[in-house]
């Protein structure tokens, strides 16, 4: 029992010491700082940090750190996976192209937007920003703002179900609940 306690104490000390080597978080207020992924300053560079986690034990197991090719003096974290400096927008450690820098922002739901498009971070192996086809960046919103579900969205021209354009009669479409919708032609569940 004493050996197990010493072993666990050694592991805890090593993990605590390794976190000191991670650098200084750019912004601890970003939502996922405590979930283990965030931007940080380390010496003269900006890094994107991801800490793997074993939730059943409650400890972080490994830290992955990628250098971000950003200007350290002007870099700011926009959200846990988005950053900006004086010249570029970043998704994790990569420069994002084909966005309008001047109008780019992150909305309260975590969608990236500019004057032309609504974007969603792609978490698959392709990475990058994916454009939500047909979504109007000014009017795109959740049907039920207070609901945690991302099932139904709407803009001035389309309804979206699970972030895909939903084929319906827009003028007569009604969504009384997350699990029920109808228009003049059909009932959708």
Write out pLDDT tens, residues 29-80. 554 444 566 778 777 889 888 776 665 666 666 677 889 999 999 999 888 8
Residue 31: its pLDDT value, please?
45
pTM score: 0.74
pLDDT (average), residues 121-144: 84
- Burial of residue 128 (number of CB atoms within 10 Å: 0-12, 13-18, 19+): middle
pLDDT tens-digit map of 66-83: 899 999 999 998 888 899
Whether 140 has a pLDDT exceeding 90, the answer reads yes
Rounded distance between C-alpha atoms, residue 2 and residue 90, angstroms: 48
pLDDT (average), residues 148-176: 93
pLDDT (average), residues 86-115: 92
More confident residue, 43 or 98: 98
Residues 129, 96, 72, 75: what is their CA dihedral angle, to the nearest 10 degrees? Answer: -60
Nearest CA among 77, 75, 48 for reference residue 63: 48
Neighbouring C-beta atoms of residue 129, cutoff 10 Å: 18
Long-range contacts of residues 43-47, Cβ cutoff 8 Å, at least 24 apart: 44/72, 45/72, 46/70, 46/72, 46/75, 46/83, 46/85, 47/23, 47/93
Confidence of residue 113 (pLDDT cuts 50, 70, 90): very high
**How much of the chain exceeds pLDDT 70, in percent?**
72
Residue 14: its pLDDT value, please?
46
């Amino acid at each position: 029992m004493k050996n197990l306690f010493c072993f666990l104490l050694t592991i805890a000390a090593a993990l605590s010491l390794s976190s000191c080597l991670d650098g200084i978080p750019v912004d601890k207020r970003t939502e996922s700082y405590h979930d283990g992924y965030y931007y940080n300053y380390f010496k003269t560079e900006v890094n994107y940090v991801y800490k793997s986690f074993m939730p059943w034990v409650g400890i972080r197991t490994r830290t992955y750190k990628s250098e971000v090719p950003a200007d350290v003096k002007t870099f700011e974290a926009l959200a846990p996976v988005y950053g900006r400096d004086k010249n570029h927008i970043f998704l994790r450690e990569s420069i994002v192209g084909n966005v309008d820098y001047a109008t780019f922002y992150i909305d309260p739901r975590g969608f990236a937007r500019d004057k032309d498009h609504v974007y969603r971070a792609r978490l698959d192996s392709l990475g990058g920003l994916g454009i939500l086809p047909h979504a109007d960046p000014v009017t795109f919103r959740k049907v039920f703002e207070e609901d945690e579900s991302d099932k139904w969205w709407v803009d001035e021209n389309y309804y979206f179900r699970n972030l895909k354009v939903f084929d319906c009669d827009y003028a007569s479409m009604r969504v009384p609940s997350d699990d029920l919708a109808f228009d003049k032609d059909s009932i959708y569940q």
